[in-house]
Every structure is written in C-alpha cells, then in structure tokens.
Structure 1
Amino acid sequence: MPLRVIFMGTPDFSVATLRAVAEAGHEVVAVYTQPPRPAGRRGLELTSSPVQREAKRLGIVVRVPVSLKGEVEQSAFRALDADVAVVVAYGLLLPLPILEGTRLGAYNGHASLLPRWRGAAPIQRAIMAGDRETGMMVMKMEAGLDTGPVAMTEKVTIGADMTSGELHDVLRDVGAKLMVRALADLEAGTLPLVPQSGEGVTYARKIDKAETRIDWNLPAELVHDRIRGLAPAPGAWCEVEIGGRTERLKLLGSTRAEGKGAPGEILDERLTIGCATGAVRLTSVQRAGGKAIGADEFLRGAKLGKGARLT
C-alpha cells in the first residue's frame, strides 16, 4: 500500500524530492512550506516558495504556518493521519509533537555525510573546507540537530573546481531518488536505522557576510575553495579599481593555477591572481549591475592588465 505522506520543504532543493515522492505513487496528503516572502526590488510583492508552487501544480493542499510550536498547529498536523513526514530543507523547527505526529515518524533528506556538517549550510561548508566527498543521507529525525539514526546514504565526489551551485544540483537529484528508495523500504518494513558516530561531528553554520570578501593573503587552495563554495550565492567578492573608480567584483568561478606574485596581483592576461602562496585563475566574474562573464571578456571591458591589483 502506498504511504500517506506529509511533505515539508521550502527551496528549489526540495522540489525534486516532492515530485519524486508523488510520482512514486505515495499519497501526499499535505505540503508544509514557509510562508510567502516579500520579493521584487521594493519588497512589495509576496512570492510563494518553490515547493508551494510545485504543490499547487500537483494539486496538493499547502499549509504555511509561521510556527509549529502551538497546540492548534500540532493538532491539525496529527489530524492528517499520515504514515510519515518527509522533510527536505524545510527551515522551521520541528517540535517533538510534530516529529511524533505520524505513524512512522519523520525522515529528513540531508546533504552531507553525517555526522559531518550538521546544520544549515552543509553544501557550501563542505566545499569551503576542501572536502573531496560528500553525499545525501536519509535520517530519522529526533529532537537534536541532525542527530538521528541514518537509514540510507549515497556518496558524491566533489570535483576540484565544482561550485556549491553545481553540487547543489547533483545532490538535489541524488536525494530525490534516495528518498523514494527509503520510503519503499519503510513501506516494506525493511528500512535499517544506524546510529550516527559520535566522532567527526562538525557544524555547518549559516554563511556570514563577513566570510564573503576574499582575502588574497591566504594560500591559493583556501582562496579557491572559498570562491567556489560561495558560488553562485551569496558569492565571494573583492574590490578592483576600474577607470579611476573602485568597484565590487563578484567571483563566481576559479581554478588553481601556476604563478607567483603579490597577493591580489593580476599575473597575466588570463586573470591569474597571486595569493599568499600559489595562485588562482578566475574563470567567471560579475561586475556590479552586470551579468556573469568570463575572464577574457572582463579584462577587455575593464582594460586591466598584468600588475593591476584586486583587494
């Protein structure tokens, strides 16, 4: 028998799993997502989340509570009489009455190899730390932050120049398929649960604005990992003087390169930049108000050459 599922998610990362669960034949009795947020240049338009838009397309009832701590919301959740809650990047705290509000509990699709990178920004943190491998896990949720037992894992290699945006898309698709497999085993009563190790615990805290400015006085490997870990959003950045004016330059792609020079110095016509040790070559940048462009196009427009400095 198909499972009665409550789906809980908000961003684009969650949409693939919602679609996959529905296409697998499970009955999604309700979708929980964060309320519409102000958008547009003036913030006057309320925009529904990607999950809400997909649920509407699928004809599924949507609920957008601002909190799940109250008895009214918790009673409404239990009244859905669901077998399981599937949670992927929902963004709201789930109190114990919600975690225990379905017959089989709540299962989370998490984008790391737990217990490494528990928390809010596991994809970005893995790349920024120089990890060469990550993955998706399906975990049974409990009261602690990403501490529950693991049911399924699929590992993913992080390429040397892979950005967080690219890794996001790979893990999104891997996670959708993994959750469908997990629900099939849960339905059959064969889903294993393995407690997480107490060793190797790390936390993926939210990205702080102070982390986004590139410090060229760091070694090249750290600069490269910072740039790709923050791409495309929120985006690493630096400043550069163009035509007598200082501009902010967003850095959206890079690769390790041969070269040696002062930190922040442009070393050649390919936008290779000196670091404390080694160098990185910028492959994609974005000027304020512009679009992402390659190094050649940027250098032609900015009229910068060897010896100019990024700060």
Structure 2
Amino acid sequence: MRVIFMGTPEFAVPSLVALDEAYDVVGVVTRPDAVRGRGKRLEPSPVKAEAQARDLRVIEANRITPEVLVVLSELDADIVCVAAYGCILPDSVLAMAPLGCVNVHASLLPRWRGAAPVQRAILAGDERAGVSIMRVVHELDAGVYCAQASTEVADKPCGQLMAEVAELGAHALVSSLADIEAGRATWTEQDASLVTYAHKVEKAEMRLDAADGWLENVRRVQASTDAAPARCVVGGRGLRVLRATAAGESVSAGDVRVARGRVLLGCADGALELLEVKPDGKREMDARSWAAGLRVDQIRWERG
C-alpha cells in the first residue's frame, strides 16, 4: 500500500515509524522548520527529522497550496494518513486517494474533539485517555472511526501519557489500514450527544491558585507542558512546578510549610506537596533542595 503521511510534532513520530515499517510511505508532509524549544534557532519538526533519517521524501508546507497539491497527486498514494499535522486539509486532499484520508486523533471520540485532548482529559479527571482512528471530514474531528485504544491516566505526567497514546495510535493505525485495504473495517458514527471539545490550553489556566482545591492544582501540574506550564509565585519569586502530589494534611490556603524535607502549599481544602520544581532563571531541582534556600517565616504563595 502506498501511503502519504502528514504530521509534525513528536506525537506523530511513532505513527510514521510504524507506517514505514509496514507499508510504502511515498511522501511525508510536515510543517516547515521553526523555532522550537529553548534554543531559539530554526529546527526541523520531529516528523521531518525522522523522515530524513529514514530517507523518505519530505514535503514542507504550512498549508496545502495548488503547487503542493500537484506534488501530492503525483505520488499516486492509496491512502493519506494524518497525525497532528496542524493544518486544515482541503477537499482535494480528502478525495485524493482511493482509500481516503484517516487521522490519528488522541482521544476516545466523541469525547475531546480538538487541539488538546490529552491535557483536557487530565484536567477533567478522566480515568482513561486514548486514541481514535477516524475519517477526516470538514467538521472538526467529527468523522466516523474504525478503531480505538486507551490507557489509564492515573498520575502519569502529560508527556508520558501523550507518548503512550502516540504508541497506541501507531499500532491502531497500522492495524486499521490492513482492515481498510481488505474492506473489512467497521466504521462507527460519533454520538453527537456525547461530544466535548478540547480547546487549546492557555497559560493562564495552568496557574496554581491557593483559592482552588488541592486536586485541581495537582491536575494542573500533571497536565503541564512547556507551552502551558504549571506556575506559582512563592515568596515573591516565580516558580514552575514540575511534579506535585496531595500532601495529606492541612495547611491554610496561601501558606507555605517546609518541614522534614517536605514543601507544602496550602490550598482551599488541603495542601499540595511540591516534589520537583524549576525556579525562574535556574535549573530543575527537587523541591527539598530548592526549599533549603527559603526563608519560610510567614512566607506566602499565590498565582504565577
């Protein structure tokens, strides 16, 4: 089977790898090089880097122009596979290949259509997160799906959970293509009454707040990413919280307690224990080491 793959971030890489090992990937479409991470220099997308390492043809495009469409048409693909490409696809792409266009979406549809399904699953306290293999249609993530797979959310950090979901998606995609090619795939319509939307997570949403409960703050830390980190201000100094858990004891909201190597932040209904932090302008460190330099007399914490 001849496959065009479209994807950009790290999440899409396992799907590209699985496709390349199972089928004939005739072209890889990805977003152009951009300033990524902390280096402040142009870098290729994770998908481009993987495709080049595998000696696959790369087409870089922010959108599908008539010129890009000509290139894709000449590849004579049987199917188009998408995983977090980051661009709305025109009808011409959806109808280009005989077997259509399918997407690896990181949620258990119809729950969490949209841009940030894994983060939203964590923030909402979902027990499971997962992936759906769906047909691409005009409406956002509204297509029928032929496969789903899931994993427990538990206390996994967002990065770890996204990596697990990405691997699930890769396996489900390859298996689904075999069923689609053989004409035995079973497609399920989404129940419109169960639809929820995973809007992009804004930085302001991730600010820890003493006026909120400890569970809400723990979930913010768990859902934290470089683009939308969990932050607060302790003693007037900015702090990113990388790992935290329920303290299991009471501390007044807004108070900070450092005792026996533990760092506790008082919330509305309990306390948050910091485990790993990154003070502004400094390296990542365990909370105990960071707290060793604090003067904790009457110190307070607030939103970052």
Same fold (TM over 0.5): yes
Gaps of 5+ in 1: none
| 1:236-261 CA-partner distances (Å, limit 9, x unpaired) | 101122xxxx3210011111221222
* Number of the residue aligned with 1:5: 3
CA 1:296/1:110 → structure 2, altered by over 3 Å: closer, same or farther? same
Contact 1:163–1:232, Cα closer than 8 Å, also in 2: no
Contact 1:267–1:307, Cα closer than 8 Å, also in 2: no
Matching of residue 207 in structure 1 with residue 219 in structure 2 = no
Contact 2:6–2:80, Cα closer than 8 Å, also in 1: yes
Among candidates 17, 32, 37, match of residue 35 of structure 1:
32
Range moving further from structure 2, 55-64 or 172-181: 172-181
Instruction: Tell me, in whole angstroms, the C-alpha distance in 2 between the residues paired with 1:233 and 1:71.
Output: 32
Q: CA deviation at 1:306?
A: 7.1
* Number of the residue aligned with 1:266: 256
AA of the residue aligned to 1:290: K
Instruction: Tell me, in whole angstroms, the C-alpha distance in 1 between the residues paired with 2:266 and 2:116.
Output: 29
AA of the residue aligned to 1:254: A
* Number of the residue aligned with 1:47: 43
* Number of the residue aligned with 2:158: 164
SS of aligned partner of 2:172: helix
AA of the residue aligned to 2:301: L
| 1:230-284 CA-partner distances (Å, limit 9, x unpaired) | 145531101122xxxx321001111122122222322342112211112221111
AA of the residue aligned to 2:130: G
Instruction: Tell me, in whole angstroms, the C-alpha distance in 1 between the residues paired with 2:35 and 2:177.
Output: 35
Instruction: Tell me, in whole angstroms, the C-alpha distance in 2 between the residues paired with 1:280 and 1:145.
Output: 37
CA 1:42/1:7 → structure 2, altered by over 3 Å: closer, same or farther? closer
- Give the 5 Å matches for 1:173-188: 173-188=167-182
Q: What is the TM-score when the length of structure 2 is the normalising length?
A: 0.93
Matching of residue 128 in structure 1 with residue 123 in structure 2 = yes
| 1:153-192 CA-partner distances (Å, limit 9, x unpaired) | 1121111x22211111111111111111111212222111
Q: CA deviation at 1:223?
A: 1.1
Provide the aligned length of Structure 1 versus Structure 2. 300
CA 1:40/1:174 → structure 2, altered by over 3 Å: closer, same or farther? closer
Superposed CA RMSD in Å reads 1.7
Kindly report structure 1 stretches of 4+ aligned residues shifted beyond 6 Å.
none
CA 1:207/1:278 → structure 2, altered by over 3 Å: closer, same or farther? same
Q: CA deviation at 1:147?
A: 0.3
* Number of the residue aligned with 2:300: 309
Gaps of 5+ in 2: none
AA of the residue aligned to 1:273: L
Q: What is the TM-score when the length of structure 1 is the normalising length?
A: 0.91
% identical aligned pairs: 37
